[in-house]
Amino acid sequence: MMDYLTHVLILLFLAVMPISEVRGALPYGVLIAGFHPVLAFILSVGGNIAIIYPLLYLLGWVEKFLFKTSKKNFSSKIRVKIAFLYVNFTSKIRKKVNPYVDRYGVVGLVLYTLIPLPFTGAWTASVAAHLLGMKRNTAFMAVALGVIFAGLIMLAMIFLGFSIKPFL
């Protein structure tokens, strides 16, 4: 029983992490933990979707805090560096995602999220939605839909026999 619980916790951990997300959690659940594909799909997609709304709220708070503290004359060098890193990071994401959203709107955010490549998942899409000024509920629905489709793509890749060994 403990082994099963350990696999569930690892799968959920992989689902919420920005590097692996559903693209790492689902193959882990099916291929390594030996879960039924439907259970692995529900856990990995659910875990990945669970991080979206907290991210959208946290990004707004972090941005307000960084702008407020960077305007003060007494802000430390560390805060200024953090603000600089944040602006640099977010501008890269904006450049990467903006063509999709400009061309296709909310559907563009769904498409961007579902692409089964590194750094195109819920974390990056949530940051992009925040940066592009999307409403939280709209952004949540678009990113969640993208995560569901990404999970379906990964499930199809697993059933079609795509190997993850070359990537390990």
Distance between CA atoms of 80 and 1, rounded to whole angstroms? 49
- Kindly report the number of other CB atoms within 10 A of residue 68's CB atom: 10
Report whether pLDDT(141) > 60.
yes
Task: Find, among 16, 22, 32, 36, the residue nearest to 168 by Cα.
Answer: 32
- Mean pLDDT score across all residues of the chain: 85
Report whether pLDDT(73) > 60.
no
Report whether pLDDT(113) > 60.
yes
- 117 burial level (CB within 10 Å; 0-12, 13-18, 19+): exposed
Distance between CA atoms of 151 and 121, rounded to whole angstroms? 11
Put simply, whether the predicted model's pTM sits higher than 0.85 gets the answer: no
The confidence score (pLDDT) of residue 51 equals 96
pLDDT level of residue 126 (50, 70, 90 thresholds) = very high
Report whether pLDDT(131) > 90.
no
Report whether pLDDT(167) > 60.
no
Q: Which helix (H) or strand (E) holds 153?
A: helix 136-160
Distance between CA atoms of 141 and 106, rounded to whole angstroms? 9
The confidence score (pLDDT) of residue 2 equals 65
**Structure tokens belonging to residue 51:** 């991080």
Distance between CA atoms of 98 and 90, rounded to whole angstroms? 11
93, amino acid identity: I
**Which range has the worst mean pLDDT, 39-48, 88-97, 123-132, 148-157?**
88-97
The confidence score (pLDDT) of residue 31 equals 92
Any idea which residue has 């992490």 for tokens?
A: 17
Distance between CA atoms of 71 and 150, rounded to whole angstroms? 40
153 Cβ contact list (under 8 Å, min separation 6)? 114, 116
The confidence score (pLDDT) of residue 1 equals 59
